[in-house]
Structure 1
Amino acid sequence: MNKVILDVSASLDGFTTGPNVRPDEPMGDGGEALHEWHAGDQIDLDALRESKGTTGAVIIGRRTFDLGLVPWGGTPWPGVPSFVVTHRTREDLLGDNGGTFAFDGLEAATRRAKEAAGDKDVWVLGADVARQLLRAGLLDEVRLHLVPILLGEGTPLFTGDQGTLIPEGKPTTGTVTHLRYRVPKA
């Protein structure tokens, strides 16, 4: 059975982007540093490979879609269907790389993404949609890549949310610390 997984890099002060997110800087000022570990040591590359290798569909927040479409040139991963959570639905969009974006509400997008993923997992992109999934009881796991930088401002990961996550496995540390948590179901 597949899972809905938030796989996210965050600064030590809890931000998933830097300040001043805008179209020409979709990760905000200094936010690209959150992903430098993608070219890190073997531990980092193994964590990245594991995450991407199990991804069968993607749920994307509308703002993340709006900011990411141009840099991605289509879906974040060619051939992996992407479902944009939005109140402003529209016809499906074929990206420049051949991937398709479908637009729907939270529960419908999640259901469709899980169906499309088959026996693989659904990856979540965007802090706001991750919070919505958590609140709706639709998020199964959090994979947190804790980056040793302080951004001071930006997009916070779980602002205003409360809960207890259950550690899964042991943390591993490369250039960043990789943590994994299961989200308990009520």
Structure 2
Amino acid sequence: MAKVIVGASMSLDGYVSGPENSGFDQLFRWYNSGDIEITTTNPELSFRLTETSAAYVRGQIEDTAALVVGRGVFDTTGGWGGLHPLGSPVVVLTHQVPEGWEREGKNFIFVTEGIEAAVARASELAGDKIVGVAAGTIGSQALAAGLVDELWVDLVPVVLGGGTPYFQSLGTTPVDGPFSVEQGIGVTHLKYRVAK
């Protein structure tokens, strides 16, 4: 059975992007803070990480078998040029399949029936590996629906002052931890379990 993780780089004031989709240069600076190169499926995108962050990212790449994102992330990234850098299939929760894309293609699956259907489809694809869910609106919907097993926060020492929060419109959700704390350069990797 798949484990469902919500994860993202987050500023000290709780944002995964700044005002008007800004701040990514600051939130992702840690991806180039070391000497160990990690390559992705995109030959133009690689990371240079510290030993701690490299082990952390390698684990994510090896263990993540499907992703769930919203239409906003999909559109902002331009659909990652047709293939996500992790190489995992991406389930996109949307109201309408974008023009020029198939409802269920090789790398992208568009789900219009809600967060439960999106996570269920991603879980089918992931088997007993990890389903990574984007923080923000989609992650908050999954958490509120009781679908999330763990929260992973890459805490970055920057204050963005506004933008898209890691969590949106939540009630109370019991969380245990952190059960893992790893200190990189310019980032602290935190993992929490969601109490069921």
Q: If the TM-score is normalised by the length of the shorter chain, which range does it land in?
A: 0.7 to 0.9
For residue 20 of structure 1, give the secondary structure of its aligned residue in structure 2.
Answer: coil
Which amino acid is 1:128 matched to? T
Alpha-carbon contact 1:61-1:126 (below 8 Å) kept: no
Is 1:133 aligned with 2:142? yes
Determine the structure 2 residue equivalent to 1:39: 32
Aligned partner (choices 84, 88, 92) of residue 92 of structure 2: 84
Residue 69 of structure 1: aligned partner: 78
Q: Give the structure 2 partner of residue 178 of structure 1.
A: 189
Q: TM-score with structure 1 length normalisation? A: 0.85
Give me the whole-angstrom Cα distance separating, in 2, the residues matched to 1:171 and 1:124.
Answer: 20
Residues 68, 93 of structure 2: 8 Å contact kept? yes
Question: Secondary structure at 1:170's aligned position in 2?
Answer: strand
State, as a whole percentage, how many aligned pairs show the same letter: 39
Q: Deviations over 1:107-157 (max 9, x none)?
A: 111111101111211011241000000110011111101000111111111
Worse-matched range after superposition: 174-183 or 78-87: 78-87
Give the AA of the match of 2:29: E
- Is contact 1:75–1:101 with CA below 8 Å preserved after alignment? no
Q: Is the 8 A contact 1:4 1:124 kept in 2?
A: yes
Question: Please, which runs of 5 or more residues in structure 1 have no aligned partner?
Answer: 22-27
Gaps in structure 2 of 5+ consecutive residues: 34-49
Secondary structure in 2 aligned to 1:169? strand
| Pairs aligned (count) | 174
Structure 1 runs, 4 residues or longer, greater than 6 Å off: none
| RMSD between superposed Cα atoms in Å | 1.9
Residue 62 (structure 2) aligned to one of 53, 59, 62: 53
Measured in 1, the distance between the counterparts of 2:111 and 2:180 equals 36
For 2:127 and 2:104, locate their aligned partners in 1 and report how far apart those are by CA, in whole Å: 21
Secondary structure of 2:16 counterpart: coil
Deviations 1:7-49 (A, max 9, x none): 211000111001112xxxxxx2x22221121223111111111
User: Normalising by the residue count of structure 2, what TM-score does the alignment of the two structures yield?
Assistant: 0.81
Higher strand share: 2
Question: Which residue among 136, 146, 155 is the counterpart of 1:146?
Answer: 155
* Distance of 2:32 and 2:58 partners within structure 1: 12
